[in-house]
A = this chain, B = another copy of it.
Amino acid sequence: MKKLSMKDIAEYAGVSVATVSRVINGNGRFSEETRQKVNNIIEEYNYTPSNVARALRTQKMPCIAIIVPDITNEFFAKLVMLIEEKLMTLTYTTMICNTHESAAIEAKFIPMINALNISGLIYIAEGEGGNPVVRKDLPVVYIDRISNDVEENIFIASDNFLGGYLAGERLIKAGCRRSLFIMDNRNISAFIDRQKGFTKAHADYNIKFSEQLICCANGVDFEAGKQEIEWLINSGILFDGIFCVSDMLAFGAYGELTSRGFSVPEDVKIIGFDDISISQYALKPLTTIQHNTELIAKNAVSTILKLVCGETVATKNIIIPVSLIERSTT
């Protein structure tokens, strides 16, 4: 059963390929009668026009690539899923490029994206060292993170400053006077904004928040959180609150703390970031900052599509509100 081409459809319908093309794409003129006839044949033979041929002709593949550092991270997984869903309803396919947080792998995707004539790129970048060069004419929307050397780019992200502020405020209101801010040693824009918000909250409430309360863990996963707390306690630092840039980091901190006999939230209060599903389900449900993933995805899709169609977008920066989810660790 060979796949039919437009030529076959044209023949069966007794019209020319051009007419079939017009009917399918709904441009040009044709009579209602022709439309019916062609559509019937298309339906009868279950014909799908070849996107490959179409892409060759128009120099545009109906496909958006999305570069993501780690699909295993639930926040990214959800984001990607939502984006893909939306694109699908618009008959775009999505090519998910998982960089494994490696710039080398990231670089490998670029020629692939070029070779495929992909229409657009949604980019969740690493903070480090700028992003690889892509074709100048390829529409790109940055999500969640951006490298600081680019000002001209389109960027959509959660309101990380607000997230930091909310966390700081909550901790302060709960009585914390010496709260740690734990991130990692990458220069990720999102983390820096959270820190600024956190600091601002302390300033607004007249609570001292010194440099030494800002900690760089060796990553943002469970292990990193554990180790960091171990190190901090050993080095004798005192604290009664912790704000982590990821939920897993917070869980690691919590684990180490409890195993050393501290109670949460009595002795120290903890707030995470992302609101991944275990945060809700853990034995000790975690207070955290929740992204509006749906809104981020929605904006990412509508923006990239505008760019693909050659429209200009008015606002280069879209900031999506976040919310504090209060649970048992504060």
Binding site for B on A (CB under 8 A): 1, 3, 48-53, 55-56, 61, 71-72, 74, 77-78, 80-81, 84-85, 88, 91, 93-96, 98, 100, 105, 108-109, 111-112, 114-117, 135-137, 222, 248, 251-252, 255, 258, 277-278, 281-284
Contacts and interface: CB of A to CB of B under 8 A. Distances in A.
User: Top 4 nearest A-B pairs by Cβ distance?
Assistant: A51-B115, A222-B281, A48-B115, A96-B96
Nearest to A73: B77
A49 B248 CA distance: 43
A315 to B, nearest CB: 27
Q: Pick from A56, A248, A281 the residue with the most CB of B within 10 Å.
A: A281
A3 B61 contact: no
A88 B115 CA distance: 13
Contacts of A135: 1, 3
Contacts of A80: 71
5 contacts: A3-B135, A52-B115, A95-B96, A252-B281, A278-B278
A60 to B, nearest CB: 10
Nearest to A278: B278
If over half of A's interface residues share one DSSP class (helix, strand or loop), that class is named, otherwise mixed; here it is helix
Given A3-B114, A50-B117, A277-B222, A77 B84 contact: no
Contacts of A77: 71-72, 77
A88 B97 CA distance: 10
Given A52-B52, A53-B56, A252-B281, 16 more contacts: A1-B137, A48-B111, A48-B114, A49-B115, A50-B115, A51-B117, A52-B115, A52-B116, A71-B71, A72-B77, A85-B98, A88-B105, A93-B112, A222-B281, A251-B281, A258-B283
Contacts of A72: 74, 77-78, 81
Contact of A52 (B56, B278, B284): B56
A95 B98 contact: no
